[in-house]
């Protein structure tokens, strides 16, 4: 009994890829208002730093050969998605492409011309378009801004500027332009101008769609690209001191809670962007924030080799680990909340809880697919239908899938694409676009979350219960559970654990 938890957990985690989801009907929690809207299944198309939208790797290497893809390349990309899925959907469910990042590295004329081109493409291909705005990451060409220390985040109360930002997009951190200070006067002025420019251009395209009686071909705008206050590349230090200094705080006059203060800075920055776009005419129902967070449950699990995406930082507080962008900052007056949704223990539950608590109508998965980065296909035990159901069956009005077509033919076997473009995924896309109910199956992630606490409770309380009651049936159930473990039948392991807990008078 002493090592039961260790044995069960190690076997469970070691064989996690082998557990198969079993379909169960999901209880929908979407609001009636969201149910009446058109819902969009979108695929991200990268549009920066390269003439080929399939070259997503160019995002962080500083290329400036061309800042938007050519019309022919873009058209071919959209047609590939459309033809392989085989349907563009109907009035309530639409196929879409999300174009971006649209960023500060692009000039005003490039931005407006590209938005106009995108709406042309929507009408030509009968595929909805949306736009994904990078709010602060890609501004390498804006030396006029980042050469001024007032516009760059600081490492300390002395205002020491960070020279570059760390991006944890792979096992080896990537160096990016310095972290933008979210509340400097010059940055706020630029955000206001760019938001108005984008809002005006996008609303002009929406008006064109309405003239052609095709308003459903506008999927919306994701405002931000995992908005956060990142870390310094060289030292790994958490940033944000410049923003605090701008709020009149200092070493001598520190905030009551530094984390809460910086969360407020992030939330206000998101609001500044979305307010400007909404004031230009774009409906707030079509605007989404985009944050990324490690769910509380995964964070509390500590160092776990099965959790690879946003692995817990050593000694970091929850807010700090999430770069001062926990899920609560995604909500605002002029936009709907949006999140990255690579599966993690507790991620969807955290989203559902907040959406229900705030009585939010509509939200978005702004980035993701049915795998954790770094784990490989199948490791979450979540097929694409279940993944889509976890959004659309719970009030999401937009789901953006990352990785379709990235790298072209040479990269067709990369893990992300094996998840996104396989036959089961294509069937799930078609099912959604035809308006058929999505079935949400049980997942390995769910078992991974539920089983260890149950085993721990049995380990702690069963010996005393047997001694008190003299009941020997529990020993037979323990043997049965061991046999199910050996057979890697984890659903039966859980059922048996529940039987033991029920026998003990405990709630499973």
In a domain, 202, yes or no: yes
In a domain, 355, yes or no: yes
Upper half-sphere CA count for residue 466 (Cβ side, 13 Å)? 15
Q: 412, 441, 470 — which closes off a domain?
A: 441
Residue 395 lies in a domain: yes
Domain termination site, one of 415, 441, 467: 441
Residues 98 and 236 in one domain: yes
Given a cut of 70, whether residue 453 has pLDDT beyond it is: yes
One domain, residues 232 and 292: yes
Could you tell me if 427 and 476 lie in one domain? no
In a domain, 32, yes or no: no
Q: How far apart are CA 440 and CA 462, in angstroms?
A: 34
Mean pLDDT to the nearest integer, 231-247: 96
Contact present, 301 and 345 (Cβ < 8 Å): yes
For residues 447 and 434, membership in a common domain is answered with: no
Query: Of 3, 1, 7, nearest to 484 (Cα)?
Result: 7
| Cα distance between residue 262 and residue 387, in whole Å | 32
Q: Which of 64-78, 281-295, 479-493 has the highest mean pLDDT?
A: 281-295
pLDDT at position 379 is 54
**Same-domain pairing of 189 and 298:** yes
Residues 382 and 482 reside in one and the same domain: no
Which candidate, 361, 98, 117, 121, places its Cα nearest to that of 223?
98
| Residue 489 or 34, more confident | 489
Return the closest-CA partner of residue 79 out of 422, 405, 482, 324: 405
How far apart (Å, rounded) are the C-alpha atoms in residues 472 and 492?
20
Does the predicted model carry a pTM greater than 0.95?
Answer: no
Which residue has 């380990």 as its token pair? 459
Question: In this structure, are 393 and 481 located in the same domain?
Answer: no
Q: Is residue 356 part of a domain?
A: yes
Kindly state whether residue 163 falls inside one of the protein's structural domains: yes
Residue 122 within a domain: yes
Q: Residue 484 domain-assigned?
A: yes
Choose one of 441, 459, 490: the last residue of a domain. 441
Confidence label for 380 from pLDDT (cuts 50, 70 and 90): low
Asked if residue 385 and residue 448 are part of one domain, the reply reads no
Answer yes or no: do 294 and 181 share one domain: yes
Tell me the pLDDT tens digit for each residue of 350-368.
999 999 999 999 999 999 9
Domain range for 95 is 38-441
Rounded Cα distance between 120 and 17, Å, is 44
471 and 433 within one domain = no
For the domain that residue 390 is a member of, what is the CATH number?
Answer: 3.20.20.80
| 54 vs 176, higher pLDDT | 176
Sort strands 165-167 and 218-223 into parallel, antiparallel or unpaired. unpaired
In terms of domains, do 431 and 451 share one?
no
The tens digit of pLDDT for each residue in 108-140 reads: 999 999 999 999 999 999 999 999 999 999 999
SS3 146: helix
pLDDT at 235: 94
Nearest to 94 by CA among 128, 43, 121, 120: 128
C-alpha span between 19 and 306 (Å, rounded): 14
Instruction: Give the H or E element holding residue 397.
Output: strand 396-401
Banded pLDDT at 400 (limits 50, 70, 90): very high
Q: DSSP labels for 238-279?
A: B--HHHHHHTT--SSS--S-HHHHHHHHHHHHHHHHHHHHHH
Residue 489 — pLDDT band, cuts 50, 70, 90?
low
Are 314 and 218 in the same domain?
A: yes
pLDDT at 169: 79
Residue 458: the pLDDT is 84
Number of domains in the chain: 2
- The confidence band for 443, taking pLDDT boundaries of 50, 70 and 90, is low
Res. 17 pLDDT band, cuts 50 70 90: very low
Q: Which comes out higher in pLDDT, residue 304 or 417?
A: 417
């Amino acid at each position: 009994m002493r090592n039961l938890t260790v044995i069960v957990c190690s076997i469970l985690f070691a064989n996690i890829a082998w557990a198969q989801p079993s379909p169960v009907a999901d209880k929908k929690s979407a609001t009636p208002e969201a149910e009446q809207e058109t819902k969009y299944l979108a695929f991200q198309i990268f549009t920066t730093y390269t003439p080929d939208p399939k070259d997503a790797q160019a995002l962080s290497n500083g290329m400036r050969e061309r800042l938007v893809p050519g019309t022919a390349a873009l058209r071919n990309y959209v047609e590939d998605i459309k033809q392989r899925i085989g349907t563009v959907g109907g009035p309530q469910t639409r196929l879409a492409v999300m174009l971006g990042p649209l960023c500060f590295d692009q000039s005003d004329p490039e931005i407006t011309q590209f938005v106009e081109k995108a709406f042309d493409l929507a009408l030509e291909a009968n595929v909805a378009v949306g736009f994904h705005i990078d709010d602060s990451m890609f501004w390498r060409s804006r030396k006029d801004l980042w050469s001024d220390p007032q516009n760059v985040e600081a490492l300390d109360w002395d205002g020491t500027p960070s020279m570059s930002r760390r991006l944890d997009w792979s096992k080896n951190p990537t160096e990016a332009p310095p972290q933008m200070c979210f509340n400097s006067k010059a940055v706020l002025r630029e955000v206001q101008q760019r938001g108005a420019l984008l809002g005006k251009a996008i609303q002009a395209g929406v008006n064109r769609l309405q003239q052609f009686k095709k308003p459903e071909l506008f999927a919306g705008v994701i405002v931000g690209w995992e908005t956060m206050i990142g870390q310094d590349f060289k030292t790994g230090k958490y940033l944000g001191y410049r923003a605090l200094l701008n709020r009149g705080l200092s070493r001598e006059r520190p905030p009551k809670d530094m984390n809460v203060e910086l969360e407020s800075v992030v939330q206000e920055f998101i609001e500044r962007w979305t307010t400007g776009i909404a004031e230009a005419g774009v409906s707030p129902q079509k605007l989404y924030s985009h944050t990324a967070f490690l769910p509380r449950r995964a964070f509390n699990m500590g160092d776990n080799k099965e959790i690879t995406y946003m692995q817990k930082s050593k000694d970091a507080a929850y807010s700090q680990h999430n770069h001062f962008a926990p899920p609560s900052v995604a909500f605002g007056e002029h936009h709907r909340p949006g999140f990255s949704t690579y599966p993690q223990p507790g991620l969807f539950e955290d989203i559902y809880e907040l959406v229900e608590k705030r009585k939010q109508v509509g939200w978005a998965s702004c980035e993701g697919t049915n795998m954790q980065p770094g784990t490989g296909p199948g490791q979450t035990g979540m097929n694409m239908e279940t993944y889509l159901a976890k959004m659309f069956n719970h009030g999401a009005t937009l789901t953006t899938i990352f990785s379709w077509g990235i790298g072209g033919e040479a990269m067709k076997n990369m893990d992300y694409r094996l998840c996104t473009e396989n036959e089961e995924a294509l069937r799930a896309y078609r099912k959604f676009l035809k308006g058929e109910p999505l079935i949400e199956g049980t997942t390995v992630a769910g078992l991974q979350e539920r089983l260890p606490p149950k085993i721990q409770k049995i380990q702690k309380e069963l010996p005393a219960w047997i001694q008190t009651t003299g009941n020997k049936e529990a020993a037979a159930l323990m043997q049965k559970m061991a046999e199910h473990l050996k057979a890697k039948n984890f659903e039966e392991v859980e059922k048996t654990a529940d039987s033991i807990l029920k026998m003990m008078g405990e709630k499973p």
